[in-house]
Amino acid sequence: MSDTPIYTSGSTVKSLWQEYRIYDDRVEFDTLFGRMTVPFDHVEQVVVSESEVEGLFKGDLHLKNFRPALKLDWANFVEHVVLDKGEGRVRRLLFTPDDPEAFKSALEDALARYRERRAGGGA
């Protein structure tokens, strides 16, 4: 697979100056604690979620489908992406790319291409 990212979310104050990248077969998070890689084979779903603080004001405690999560940045306070994994110790990641909807769309497109290649027997 290529080492050129398909999509790069630039570092911003919302992401605590961390960078998030999508490749042909994985998502990489350059965090304050080092690089975290999530292979596409582990990704179950990706959604954009409103700020938990905003949800609390509406009475939504975000308890439906609750999973303990690793929050990589200010995800509690702003719109963010939720990535659920099927494997590993941490099964849910919350993070704030510069444009959550664009990141989700790019990731879903990359996942679809990856799964199509895998189903067709391609490398």
DSSP-derived secondary structure for 11-28 = --TTTTT-EEEE-SSEEE
pLDDT of residue 56: 52
Q: Specify the pLDDT at position 69.
A: 82
The CATH architecture one would assign to domain 7-119 is Roll (2.30)
pLDDT at 28: 97
What is residue 84's predicted lDDT score, i.e. its pLDDT? 94
Domain boundaries, the chain: 7-119
Q: What are phi and psi of 29, to 5 degrees?
A: -120, 115
**What is the pLDDT, as a whole number, of residue 61?**
47
- The burial of 3, by beta-carbon neighbours within 10 Å (0-12 exposed, 13-18 middle, 19 or more buried), is given as exposed
The total of other beta-carbon atoms located within 10 Å of residue 104's CB is 17
The pLDDT value recorded for residue 53 is 56
Spans in the chain with pLDDT lower than 70: 1-2, 52-67, 122-123
CB 36 within 8 A of CB 28: yes
